[in-house]
Chains A and B, each alone.
Chain A
Amino acid sequence: QKEVEQNSGPLSVPEGAIASLNCTYSDRGSQSFFWYRQYSGKSPELIMFIYSNGDKEDGRFTAQLNKASQYVSLLIRDSQPSDSATYLCAGGGFHGSSNTGKLIFGQGTTLQVKP
């Protein structure tokens, strides 16, 4: 079982709709969760992170965390064609015996926003 799982997609939504991206994790050692956006041929860029149960909003983006269900999601409101990219979910924490945190990534979900 992968430690962080995402549906690879593609997820296709019309422009202006809400895109909902989901992620589940199996390692309860993960204490924080991150959403990265990666355009084709580019490096991942952090768009949201969340530590506590509940919702966290930043502009058009809302991250949701449910530690009991080991579930993380990212909502993108008013989706734009420029949001078309791969979205990587990552769990962060002190895994194993390391005292330095590391990110464990899911395989990413490709989002296509159609004009």
Chain B
Amino acid sequence: DTAVSQTPKYLVTQMGNDKSIKCEQNLGHDTMYWYKQDSKKFLKIMFSYNNKELIINETVPNRFSPKSPDKAHLNLHINSLELGDSAVYFCASSQDGDRLNTIYFGEGSWLTVV
């Protein structure tokens, strides 16, 4: 069983479209995250949720909207996709917001906007 699973793994879409990436963790963790890794491999946090509550919201355009229906799921919806949104999006989870050494990353979702 994959600990943190993301779907889809690959996504190619046109500018202006709306798309979603889903994430599920079966580790029983309380905290989940979305990170974005750009073409230069720079990995940056976007959002974090603790037990369904939004905790961290970095400077991310409003076109990005995370949703956490329960503490095991954290989805990312992106409206009006732009070329600059092309990146790898990693979902991650940790036991809680304090124990950063328990952060576990999903396999990533490769988004290409054309």
Partner-B contacts on A (CB < 8 A): 8, 32, 34, 38, 42-46, 49, 86, 88, 92, 98-105, 107-108
Q: How many A-B residue pairs have CB under 8 A?
A: 57
A52–B106 Cα distance when bound, in Å, is 28
Q: Which residues of A contact B101 (CB under 8 A)?
A: 32, 34, 46, 49
Beyond A43-B107, A44-B90, A44-B105, whether A101 also contacts B98 by CB under 8 A is: yes
Q: Does A43 contact B48, Cβ atoms closer than 8 Å?
A: no
7 closest A-B pairs by beta carbon, nearest first, are A100-B97, A92-B100, A43-B105, A100-B55, A105-B43, A49-B101, A108-B41
Q: Does A102 contact B56, Cβ atoms closer than 8 Å?
A: yes
Q: Does B41 contact A38, Cβ atoms closer than 8 Å?
A: yes
Interface size of B by CB at 8 A reads 22
Q: Which residues of B contact A86 (CB under 8 A)?
A: 41
Q: Does B106 contact A43, Cβ atoms closer than 8 Å?
A: yes
Nearest CB in chain A: distance from B36 CB, A? 11
B43 contact from A8, A44, A49, A99, Cβ within 8 A: A44
Q: Does A105 contact B31, Cβ atoms closer than 8 Å?
A: no
Beyond A44-B43, A105-B44, A107-B41, whether A100 also contacts B107 by CB under 8 A is: no
Q: Which residues of A contact B56 (CB under 8 A)?
A: 98, 100, 102
Q: Which residues of B contact A49 (CB under 8 A)?
A: 100-101
CB interface residues, B 33-78, toward A, < 8 Å: 33, 40-45, 48, 50, 55-56
